[in-house]
């Protein structure tokens, strides 16, 4: 990922928090000239290895998993993004840009063939994503035969993270005055992404005035 130094984030705790908050990832692998892509929710185990471990599952009908065992893959975690108008700078000789946050995690994928491990991945996924529900659904509320059928239709995997890259492109290469104008411009927009990027920019200015 092209990341000028002004936008680079390497703090592992910050990157891990981002992954946990934006767990729906784009998983990319390459074989020869072709690239295979799947969009999947991934869980992070912070304590596994130096950089952590990701876990998830494919639909068995998705051919992406075939031949993927032991291969290097890239998981892209997307954060908020927003268009930045040059009119907000209130200066001459400026251009439009796009502010965004993203984290790339590279590592080796391992298919999990053990049925108990696969069940554990599914159970953890349910617990994580149901936690915010008023009355969380539990895997145990489904009939065992239904769960067995579910497990037959998916393929579990883990990814041992070998490299983490973070990019917080938030106008850090501009003066604080320009950044404040962009924040005001974003706050005037109704889109959720614009509001979230404005908040990230304001927080970053508090840390690096």
Residue-number span of the structural domain to which 28 is assigned: 5-174
DSSP 8-state class, residue 72: E
Instruction: Let me know if residue 183 belongs to a domain.
Output: no
Closest CA to 56 of 80, 31, 34, 27: 27
Residue 17 belongs to domain with CATH number: 2.30.110.10
Q: How confident is the model at residue 31 (pLDDT cuts 50, 70, 90)?
A: confident
205 in any annotated domain: no
Give tens-digit pLDDT for 61-86: 999 999 999 999 999 999 999 999 99
Tell me the three-class secondary structure of 12-63, residue by residue: HHHHHHHHHHCCEEEEEEEECCEEEEEEEECEEECCCCCCCEEEEEEECCCH
Q: How many domains does the chain have?
A: 1
Q: Is residue 139 part of a domain?
A: yes
Q: Give a yes or no: residue 75 inside a domain.
A: yes
Judge whether 189 lies within some domain: no
- Checking if the pLDDT of 206 tops 90, the result is no
Q: How far apart are CA 109 and CA 16, in angstroms?
A: 18
Is the pTM above the cut of 0.95?
A: no
User: pLDDT, tens digit, for every residue of 4-25?
Assistant: 999 999 999 999 999 999 999 9
Which pLDDT band holds residue 32 (cuts at 50, 70, 90)? confident
């Amino acid at each position: 990922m092209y990341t000028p130094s002004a936008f680079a984030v390497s703090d592992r705790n910050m990157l891990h928090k981002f992954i946990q908050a934006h767990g729906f990832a784009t998983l990319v692998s390459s074989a020869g000239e072709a690239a295979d892509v799947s969009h999947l929710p991934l869980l992070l185990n912070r304590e596994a290895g130096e950089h952590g471990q990701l876990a998830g599952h494919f639909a068995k009908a998705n051919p992406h998993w075939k031949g993927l065992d032991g291969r290097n893959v890239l998981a892209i975690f997307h954060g908020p993004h927003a268009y930045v108008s040059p009119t907000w700078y209130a200066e001459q000789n400026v251009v439009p840009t796009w502010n965004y946050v993203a984290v790339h995690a590279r590592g080796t994928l391992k298919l999990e063939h053990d049925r108990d491990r696969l069940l554990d991945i599914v159970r953890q996924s349910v617990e994580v994503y149901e936690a915010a529900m008023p009355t969380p659904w539990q895997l145990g509320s489904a009939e065992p035969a239904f769960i067995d059928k579910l497990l037959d239709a998916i393929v579990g995997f883990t990814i041992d993270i070998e490299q983490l890259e973070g990019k917080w492109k938030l106008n850090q290469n501009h003066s604080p005055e320009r950044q404040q104008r962009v924040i005001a411009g974003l706050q005037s927009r109704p889109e959720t992404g614009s509001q979230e990027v404005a908040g990230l920019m304001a927080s970053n200015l508090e840390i690096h005035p």
